[in-house]
Amino acid sequence: MHDPWSGRPVINCNTCGEYAEYDCLQRKTAHAIIAATLACNVSKEDERDPRAVAETILDVLENAGLTIARASR
């Protein structure tokens, strides 16, 4: 489905009839995955090494089927 005004891809809500942009939903999904990863999987040693934290987050996102892409503005 596409927004009739902007032509951007959207997902229709079957409950309320409103719609959300697909990219926004992807961002919310990624945010939830990152928050859960930080809460559960990051050890005290990792907190001192930002690269280790980033690697853990990227692995979890990849395992969830998401990829990182620069947003177009």
pLDDT in tens, 15-69: 666 666 666 667 777 777 777 777 776 666 666 677 777 788 778 878 877 766 6
User: Rounded to the nearest 10 degrees, how much is the dihedral formed by the CA atoms of 59, 71, 31, 17?
Assistant: -130
- This prediction's pTM: 0.45
Annotate the chain with DSSP letters as a single string.
Answer: -B-TTT--BEEE-TTTS-EEEHHHHHHHHHHHHHHHHHHHH--HHHHT-HHHHHHHHHHHHHHTT----PPP-
Q: Is the pLDDT of residue 2 over 70?
A: no
**Rounded average pLDDT over 4-23:** 65
